[in-house]
Amino acid sequence: MIDLSLLPDGGLTWLDASGPASHLVLSTRIRLARNLAPHPYALRATLGDREGILTDVQAAARETVSLRKAHLFRVDRLPLEDRQLLHERHLVSKELAGLGDPAVVRPGAALLVQDRVGVMLNEEDHLRLQGFRSGFDLDAAYQQVDRVDSELGQRLPFAFHPEFGYLTSCPTNVGTGLRASVLIHLPGLVLTKEISKVLQGLAQVGLTFRGLYGEGSEVVGNFFQLSNQTTLGKSERELLDHLGKMVRQVIEYEEQARQVLLRDVPTIIEDKVWRAYGLLRHARTLSFEETMNLLSGVRLGVGLGLVDQVGLYALNKLLVHTQPAHLAQHEGVGATDPELNVRRARFVRALLEDEAGRRGATP
Amino acid sequence: MIDLSLLPDGGLTWLDASGPASHLVLSTRIRLARNLAPHPYALRATLGDREGILTDVQAAARETVSLRKAHLFRVDRLPLEDRQLLHERHLVSKELAGLGDPAVVRPGAALLVQDRVGVMLNEEDHLRLQGFRSGFDLDAAYQQVDRVDSELGQRLPFAFHPEFGYLTSCPTNVGTGLRASVLIHLPGLVLTKEISKVLQGLAQVGLTFRGLYGEGSEVVGNFFQLSNQTTLGKSERELLDHLGKMVRQVIEYEEQARQVLLRDVPTIIEDKVWRAYGLLRHARTLSFEETMNLLSGVRLGVGLGLVDQVGLYALNKLLVHTQPAHLAQHEGVGATDPELNVRRARFVRALLEDEAGRRGATP
């Protein structure tokens, strides 16, 4: 079993709701795709190449500040549960975790982590550097990952073309190799049915959206990952400024939508919020998907000041710890445990009861 | 506005869950149809006849013990809200309350009440005597109404045929004129899908079922009124013995169904029960129908010993007082108040919170 304290968000720092706009934005994540010039791209890399990449990167990492104390997870040697766990933490992609289709773990698949930065190794690109922050904080997330990039770049021969920029396995990542993702909660826009208009607008300005778990994952609980689509032809600064501007706009739309709901259908909103809370407080079996949807309702209530029985940090913790692999680890059972939904409901009840008691709120 | 303390169940004695099998049976009600020989049946009665009936019965009632202190409600002179209120208390039929189709209040429609007995006047029959008891108690209910019948029968010329028995407006009531109804909660049989089999069986032995509000009313919240179909050719004793035997059988089936559910799908049942409780505790708007369904879930939980935050009496009270006319009176608004569902949710929350606090149960 993975020691959770080794994870960069082991203390869940990026979920403590301390960052900017935490009532709407759960976290900001930036990744940089990098490849080592001497080795072929992942699709054509031999086993020897893949091990060589691991050796080279580890050696370089030991000489940096950002990754000096990093822990290496050999994802290719981890049992399924642990790979799921890392994926649920957003530290490794579905593919690197061997949870894609086909569900194969690539040889040499690994993760290097320290504090709030991580490096996926032998993913689609040789290296995918990631930086995480609480709330909406593109600059801080970029500074973190930029430092790792500089430190490693001084010691490793990153594939770079003077005209195109960083070279990557997939052409869409060529250039800066940067993808910035903002995990944002947009129930207001969903309830007012304005969300598709907003998402279409984002697509027109080069942004894309996904569900909680990256490419191809469904949107549940009104949680959206907004990110830039391409990286070619723009500087890192330009990409971040553009995404930042657009996300601020989305935040404004969401705030407006909430005010409209509170003004026009306050009862429906209050009812929705409190029913969600009531079900989380009392249900005896909860699927993860239903939990997400109910947490979405309660989170809206907290954002609107309707609910004070629970804080954002607790809701964020629930979102992470009710995921199948996290819950299974907490309960000391396998991820296919038939009682997992019952355990989830018990876990949620206990946390919410404790939280309500701690906050001295009446139910 | 009607003074609720004048109602025979003003103190809700028949809902205090003190009677036999109260965990399943809410109440027992027996009515006797009687007509005054000198007057034509209701359909052909003139205004003069109808007033004459009122005068005659009132005069006789004053000389009895059962109805000496009875209060007379001139239903035909009551506003809509009050007529609804009496109907919600099961004291007057939909027709007498002028809530049928067409919704007309018949001249002379009246109700005479004292303690746990009531007499509808100028309904389909000139008199419909009713006795109410908590739980499953046919004998006690019959004793009550039988006493009224004897006392009035000594003073009024009831239409009686030596061969057919009591004569009534509708042939199905000829004979004893007796209809005994048991209001029973059968969620176990509904959940195990055995209910239709049971109801078919009851039909074969001359029993019928209806929803909470008598003939033609839908079954909601798994509350069924079981009663005898015809009265001709059998004595009161035989009718009651037969119904009693059948209801005891239904109770046994329901108990068995509950044990099967607890054995085979305990989680589903617990979840259902607690979700119902959670919604009642937290919802901000509740229709009466949803309230009934949720109360049904909680009632099942109380019966199974899963829930101790609320007692049967409180659930019975909720069932009565969340009805539109009752709620409107409690809140001092009209029955068409647009906020009635919001008021209902607030009323339910307050009562359940109070009840949970009183019982010292943790939510």
Report pLDDT digits (tens) over A204-260. 999 999 887 655 666 788 999 999 987 778 899 999 999 999 999 999 999 999 999
* Chain A residues touching residue B267 (CB < 8 angstroms): 284-285, 342
Radius of gyration of chain B (CA): 21
Note whether A350 contacts B: Cβ–Cβ < 8 A: no
Q: How far apart are CA A272 and CA A292, in angstroms?
A: 14
Per-residue model confidence (pLDDT) at position B314? 92
Inform me whether the pLDDT recorded for B267 exceeds 80: yes
Per-residue model confidence (pLDDT) at position A13? 67
Tell me how close the Cα of A348 comes to any Cα of chain B, in angstroms. Answer: 14
Which helix (H) or strand (E) segment is A11 a member of? none
Question: Is residue B29 domain-resident?
Answer: yes
Nearest to B284 among A274, A279, A281 (CB): A274
Three-state secondary-structure class, residue A12: coil
Q: Are strands A207-210 and A223-228 parallel, antiparallel or unpaired?
A: antiparallel
Choosing from B211, B235, B256, the residue where a domain stops is: B256
- pLDDT, one tens digit per residue, over B28-51 is 999 999 999 989 998 889 999 999
- pLDDT, one tens digit per residue, over A145-183 is 999 999 999 999 999 999 989 999 888 888 899 999 999
* Chain B residues touching residue A291 (CB < 8 angstroms): none
Choosing from B222, B238, B256, the residue where a domain stops is: B256
A276 and A202, same domain (yes or no) = no
Per-residue model confidence (pLDDT) at position A363? 47
* Smallest CA–CA distance from A350 into chain B, residue: B363
Interface test with A, best of B275, B277, B286 (most A CBs within 10 A): B275
Q: Between chains, do B283 and A274 touch, taking CB under 8 Å as contact?
A: yes
* Chain B residues touching residue A344 (CB < 8 angstroms): none
Total residue count of chain A as it appears in this document = 363
CATH number of residue A136's parent domain: 3.30.590.10
* Smallest CA–CA distance from A342 into chain B, residue: B267
- pLDDT, one tens digit per residue, over A286-321 is 999 999 999 999 999 999 999 999 999 899 999 999
Query: Closest Cα to residue A31, out of A207, A206, A177, A215?
Result: A177
Three-state secondary-structure class, residue A308: coil
Q: Which of residues 301-320 of A touch B (CB under 8 A)?
A: none
- pLDDT, one tens digit per residue, over B104-120 is 999 999 999 998 899 99
Per-residue model confidence (pLDDT) at position A216? 61
Q: Between chains, do B284 and A278 touch, taking CB under 8 Å as contact?
A: no
Q: How far apart are CA B268 and CA B288, in angstroms?
A: 24
Q: Between chains, do A363 and B282 touch, taking CB under 8 Å as contact?
A: yes
A194 and A143, same domain (yes or no) = yes
Question: Is residue B192 domain-resident?
Answer: yes
Q: Between chains, do A363 and B271 touch, taking CB under 8 Å as contact?
A: no
Q: How confident is the model at residue A350 (pLDDT cuts 50, 70, 90)?
A: very high
Question: Is residue B303 domain-resident?
Answer: yes
| SS3 letters across chain B | CCCHHHCCCCCCHHHCCCCCCCCCEEEEEEEEEECECCCCCHHHCCHHHHHHHHHHHHHHHHCCCCCCCCEEECHHHCCHHHHHHHHHCCCCCCCCCCCCCCCCCCCCCEEEEECCEEEEECCCCCEEEEEEEECCCHHHHHHHHHHHHHHHHCCCCECEECCCEECCCCHHHCECCEEEEEEEECHHHHHCCCHHHHHHHHHHCCEEEEECCECCCCCCCCEEEEEECCCCCCCHHHHHHHHHHHHHHHHHHHHHHHHHHHHHCHHHHHHHHHHHHHHHHHCCCCCHHHHHHHHHHHHHHHHCCCCCCCCHHHHHHHHHHCCHHHHHHHHCCCCCCCCHHHHHHHHHHHHHHHHHHHCCCCC
Choosing from A205, A224, A256, the residue where a domain stops is: A256
* Smallest CA–CA distance from A266 into chain B, residue: B284
Question: Is residue A80 domain-resident?
Answer: yes
Q: What angle do CA A125, A127, A131 make, to 5 degrees?
A: 120
* Chain A residues touching residue B283 (CB < 8 angstroms): 271, 274-275, 278
Question: Is residue A26 domain-resident?
Answer: yes
Interface confidence, given as ipTM, is 0.88
Averaged pLDDT, B228-244: 89
A271 and A246, same domain (yes or no) = no
A166 and A199, same domain (yes or no) = yes
Per-residue model confidence (pLDDT) at position B65? 95
B108 and B147, same domain (yes or no) = yes
Q: Between chains, do A282 and B353 touch, taking CB under 8 Å as contact?
A: no
Note whether A281 contacts B: Cβ–Cβ < 8 A: yes
Per-residue model confidence (pLDDT) at position A302? 96
* Chain A residues touching residue B345 (CB < 8 angstroms): 271
Note whether A357 contacts B: Cβ–Cβ < 8 A: no
Q: How far apart are CA A127 and CA A120, in angstroms?
A: 6
B326 and B205, same domain (yes or no) = no
B273 and B166, same domain (yes or no) = no
Which helix (H) or strand (E) segment is A29 a member of? strand A25-34
Q: Are strands A25-34 and A127-134 parallel, antiparallel or unpaired?
A: antiparallel
B222 and B290, same domain (yes or no) = no
A131 and A272, same domain (yes or no) = no
Q: How far apart are CA A97 and CA A84, in angstroms?
A: 7
- pLDDT, one tens digit per residue, over A318-337 is 999 999 999 999 999 987 89
A274 and A252, same domain (yes or no) = no
User: What DSSP string runs through A184-209?
Assistant: EE-HHHHHTT-HHHHHHHHHHTTEEE
Question: Is residue B261 domain-resident?
Answer: no
* Residue B339: φ, ψ to 5°: -95, 15
- pLDDT, one tens digit per residue, over A15-27 is 778 889 999 999 9
Query: Regarding predicted confidence, which is higher, A187 or A9?
Result: A187
Inform me whether the pLDDT recorded for A35 exceeds 70: yes
Q: How far is CA A293 from CA A5, A87, A321, B69, B360, in A?
A: 28, 20, 15, 59, 31
Q: What angle do CA B189, B195, B197 make, to 5 degrees?
A: 135
Per-residue model confidence (pLDDT) at position B13? 67
Q: Between chains, do B275 and A279 touch, taking CB under 8 Å as contact?
A: yes
Nearest to B270 among A268, A270, A284 (CB): A284
Per-residue model confidence (pLDDT) at position B221? 87
A191 and A338, same domain (yes or no) = no
- pLDDT, one tens digit per residue, over A43-100 is 889 999 999 999 999 999 999 999 999 999 999 999 999 999 999 888 899 999 999 8
Q: Are A176 and A32 in contact (CB under 8 A)?
A: yes
Sign of CA dihedral B237, B239, B244, B246: positive
First to last CA, chain A: 37
Q: How far is CA A329 from CA A93, A103, A322, A323, A325, in A?
A: 20, 21, 10, 10, 6
Question: Is residue A261 domain-resident?
Answer: no
Cβ partners under 8 Å of residue B227, min gap 6: B179, B180, B181, B182, B207, B208, B209, B210, B243
Q: How far apart are CA A108 and CA A50, in angstroms?
A: 5
Q: Between chains, do A363 and B270 touch, taking CB under 8 Å as contact?
A: no
Number of domains in chain A: 2
Q: Between chains, do B267 and A275 touch, taking CB under 8 Å as contact?
A: no
> A169: domain range?
4-256
Nearest to B282 among A267, A268, A275 (CB): A275
B202 and B304, same domain (yes or no) = no
Note whether B77 contacts A: Cβ–Cβ < 8 A: no
Inform me whether the pLDDT recorded for A9 exceeds 80: no
Q: What is Dmax (Cα atoms) for chain A? A: 64
* Residue B78: φ, ψ to 5°: -90, 145
Note whether A275 contacts B: Cβ–Cβ < 8 A: yes
Instruction: For residue B197, give both structure tokens.
Output: 């089999």
Inform me whether the pLDDT recorded for B6 exceeds 70: no
Interface test with B, best of A265, A277, A281, A284 (most B CBs within 10 A): A284
